[in-house]
Amino acid sequence: MIPLSVLDLATVTTGSSAAQAFAETTETAIRAEQLGFHRLWVAEHHGMPAVASSAPAVLIAHVANATSTIRVGSGGVMLPNHAPLVIAEQFATLEALHPGRIDLGLGRAPGTDHVTARALRRAADLGADRFPDDVVELIKYLLPLEGPPSHPFANPGHGYLPEVWLLGSSTYSAQLAGLLGLPFSFAYHFAPTLVDEALAQYRSTFRASILLEQPHAMVAVSVICAPTSDEALWLSGSSALSIVQMRTGRRGQLPSPEEAAAYEFTDDERSMAREAMSSHVIGDPASVLQGLRDLQQRTGSDEIMVSTRVHSHDARLRSLELVASMWELKAPVNQTHRSDETGADAG
């Protein structure tokens, strides 16, 4: 079995708050570590009432302090929103505080709508065309120095190198990751049709680098696992309604399955949700296990990252527990979490 990891969006559900979402993300990380998941990532999003992880570095610092063995990182930082030097200093600081446990996943999308992107970047040029140069610049700030520094930038920086990944939902970042010799994570959970082409291009363009000798690909997939398929399908109603709301300009907190059951979907909305969720792996443990095995066999991925967006935090943790059990994950030895220090409870 290949490693499994967790993508967490600090989900804000109806009737909840950002503070509660952060507490639940922390508890999720602690439980994921206990279950043997390899890494937990949080993603940069802005202007989305259902997603509180707008400041990944801050949340990563908190989660890393509450855990001891699981890798923690960004899935990802949307680099065009930031100066490379700022991200280098943030993640070098994290690496210095938690050596060998920090991942820096980089994306080129804004992680929000056009208006919010303009507010973030304070410029008419949204900067995505500079992404390859910005990635290279950022990595240069972090690589160990071979001689005297040519400039005083990035302190901390040189030598405090997290594991750098490129993220993508198209072939663009796949090719760039291959050319730069970086690990690549594909967003299968919202761009399933391009996964085969993107991974093929990543592997065909891969050139060994000082950061990575062989291509390493991870696929992120939405997973809801429950004791029965009927319950899993019921829980997935939250995602279905959330997708419709977002795509029709009615952004809000993640609705409950009861709200989804009461909502009268139009035929177009039902088709929209069905198409968007066609790649989700939803069901009882046996069917989810088969779905993940099929995905791994199809893609040849070296890791799978699961994202579980359900309204109930208990149902989210239970889904991870069921997945970990059927995948036969092994809990790390000598793990200690610091729930007393963070206010989180492992449950």
Residues 158, 143: Cα–Cα separation, whole Å: 5
Is the Cβ–Cβ distance between 303 and 38 less than 8 Å?
yes
Return the bridge partners of 218, or none. Answer: 185, 303
Between 130-134, 237-241, 264-268, 337-341, the lowest mean confidence (pLDDT) is in 337-341
Residues 162, 104: Cα–Cα separation, whole Å: 6
pLDDT band of residue 120 (cuts 50, 70, 90) is: low
Is the Cβ–Cβ distance between 79 and 50 less than 8 Å?
no
The structure's pTM equals: 0.90
The pLDDT value recorded for residue 332 is 80
Most confident of 137-151, 295-309, 333-347: 295-309
The pLDDT value recorded for residue 144 is 81
Looking at per-residue pLDDT, the higher value among 97 and 140 belongs to 97
Between 101-105, 145-149, 189-193, the lowest mean confidence (pLDDT) is in 145-149
Q: Please tell me the CATH superfamily of domain 4-220+308-342, with its number.
A: Luciferase-like domain (3.20.20.30)
Burial of 337: CB neighbours in 10 Å, binned 0-12, 13-18, 19+: buried
Q: 């160990």: which residue's tokens?
A: 144
User: What is the residue-averaged pLDDT of the chain?
Assistant: 90
The pLDDT value recorded for residue 9 is 93
Cα 133-136-140 angle, rounded to 5 deg:
135
Q: HSE-up of 176 (CA within 13 Å, CB side)?
A: 23
pLDDT band of residue 215 (cuts 50, 70, 90) is: very high
Q: State pLDDT tens for residues 127-174.
A: 557 899 999 999 989 988 765 555 556 567 678 999 999 999 999 999
